[in-house]
Structure 1
Amino acid sequence: MSQIRLLERLTHFEDPGLSDGVSPDRQLSESIGLHLTRLLNTRAGSVPIDAQYGLADMSNIAGSFAVGTSEALSEAILRQISLYEPRLRQCRISVSSERRDVIALRFELSGLLAASRANAPDLPFSVSLRINSAGRIFVDRLARH
């Protein structure tokens, strides 16, 4: 339980039924997904305590889906994750080739969840990132095979 964020722990303390039947690994994965959504949709400079937290404004991203956009964006996302999400290791981003939309960019983020116990193996982690024309980033869990 110590791997989830403080506000999530307080919420579960207030209403323990929220985590009934949910494995600690799934709680951790969901916590990371929620934090990534918050992190990647926060605009850089909007958090008074840390001006580097978040990504640059992407509200006009539809007009800039040029060739270099996806590489620069994936580098910025990886930089934010390495700085602000210590529960993920060895992250990689690839452009999703299964569905290409004219008005959305799609990426697949994969990495390893840092083990919460000593001598425990790191677990695989992967999510789909979809960036719409308004610059909003959606984080969706990928189905495990």
Structure 2
Amino acid sequence: MEASIFDVLTGSFANGRRVTSVSEDQRLLLSVASNLNRLFNTRRGTVGHSPDYGLPDMLTVYRDSPQSAGELRRAVKESIETYEPRLSRVRVRRRETDEHAMRLVFIVEAELKNGERVRFETTFESQKTAKVEPTGSYV
């Protein structure tokens, strides 16, 4: 498996690394992380041809916290299941953080279509974009 067509056309992943600078076995993982970065940093309703693409406005999440953290977790899971077809068996759980830090951290565990299990960590902070990092494959 390779990088997505978007990664190939732009020549780089969301983290700035060139597609050709990484081994083929790492391209899939970095491509999925890039797609999740784009997905999580797009506000729902801003993509005209896919109005449900992206996540809800983060200001409402922080304003309504802590109840809305569960809603954001569900939105993350549903968005992945809809817009990242290379992942299956998606599980999203919240990692405990300082409740006054204005930061939410989620761990995403899933399977690639080739059966490999992967884990990503994504952090949502006020005044910053979401960042998705692979935390390594695991068996």
- 1:28 & 1:100 partners in 2: Cα distance? 33
Letter in 1 for 2:98: R
Task: Please give the per-residue CA displacement for 1:36-64, whole angstroms capped at 9, x wherever unaligned.
Answer: 01011111111111111111111354333
Q: How does 1:22-61 map to 2 (within 5 A)?
A: 22-61=22-61
Higher relative contact order (CA 8 A, sep 6+): 1
Instruction: Report the CA distance shift for 1:52/1:11 in structure 2 as closer, same or farther (over 3 A).
Output: closer
- 1:139 & 1:70 partners in 2: Cα distance? 17
Instruction: Report the CA distance shift for 1:26/1:101 in structure 2 as closer, same or farther (over 3 A).
Output: farther
Computing the radius of gyration from Cα coordinates, the structure with the larger value is 1
Letter in 1 for 2:117: P
After TM superposition, the score normalised by the length of structure 1 is 0.78
CA contact (8 A) 2:117 2:137 kept: no
Residue matched to 1:118: none
Aligned alpha-carbon RMSD (Å): 2.2
After TM superposition, the score normalised by the length of structure 2 is 0.81
Specify every segment of 5 or more residues in structure 1 that has no aligned partner in the other structure, as ranges: 116-121
Deviation at 1:11, TM superposition (A): 4.5
Residue matched to 2:135: 142
Report sequence identity in percent: 27
CA contact (8 A) 1:41 1:55 kept: yes
- 1:82 & 1:110 partners in 2: Cα distance? 12
Number of aligned residue pairs: give it. Answer: 131
Residue matched to 1:111: 110
